Amino acid sequence: MTRNLTRPLLTRLVPARLRHVWRDALSLLLALADRRTPASARLIGLAALLYTVSPVDLLPDSIPLVGYGDDLLVVPALLAFATRFLPADVLGHARTRADTFAAHRRWLVPAILGAALLLSVLLAVLLVRGAAGLLQN
């Protein structure tokens, strides 16, 4: 069985459904910046953004696995609801722009994931060294 190595790394690693979710989220972000977007869609998009960064959640994020479940349900639901208020031409134009952006920025997601992995390793090393220093004292 041969593998198609000519496809970009992101295309091989990320399932198609997740790529569509990323494209739709980016499309909505671009559509919300459009002047033709109704205020109701902008308010719902803003609510999704505020819910994402807000420390107040339905389920606290400190609960392992379950804490992020509400974010994974509420935010996409709000974004899907916001798209219902968008005019078709605005959404179509935003999807075209998102596809163009994704085609030119294939390196972006792997770079972000790599940086997050590097920072996680560095943080783990610092925590282990700090814990070792506390145990010696």
Domain that residue 34 falls in: 10-106
* Cα 133 from Cα 12, distance rounded (Å): 43
Q: Are residues 70 and 94 in the same domain?
A: yes
Average pLDDT over residues 79-97: 90
Banded model confidence at residue 18, pLDDT cuts 50, 70, 90: low
pTM: 0.56
Q: Are residues 52 and 73 in the same domain?
A: yes
Q: Are residues 118 and 82 in the same domain?
A: no
Q: Are residues 44 and 97 in the same domain?
A: yes
Number of domains in the chain: 2
The 10 Å Cβ neighbour count of residue 45 is 23
* Cα 70 from Cα 125, distance rounded (Å): 31
* Percent with pLDDT over 70 in the chain: 82
Higher pLDDT, 132 or 28: 28
Q: Are residues 97 and 123 in the same domain?
A: no
Nearest partner of 40 among 29, 32, 50, judged by Cα: 32
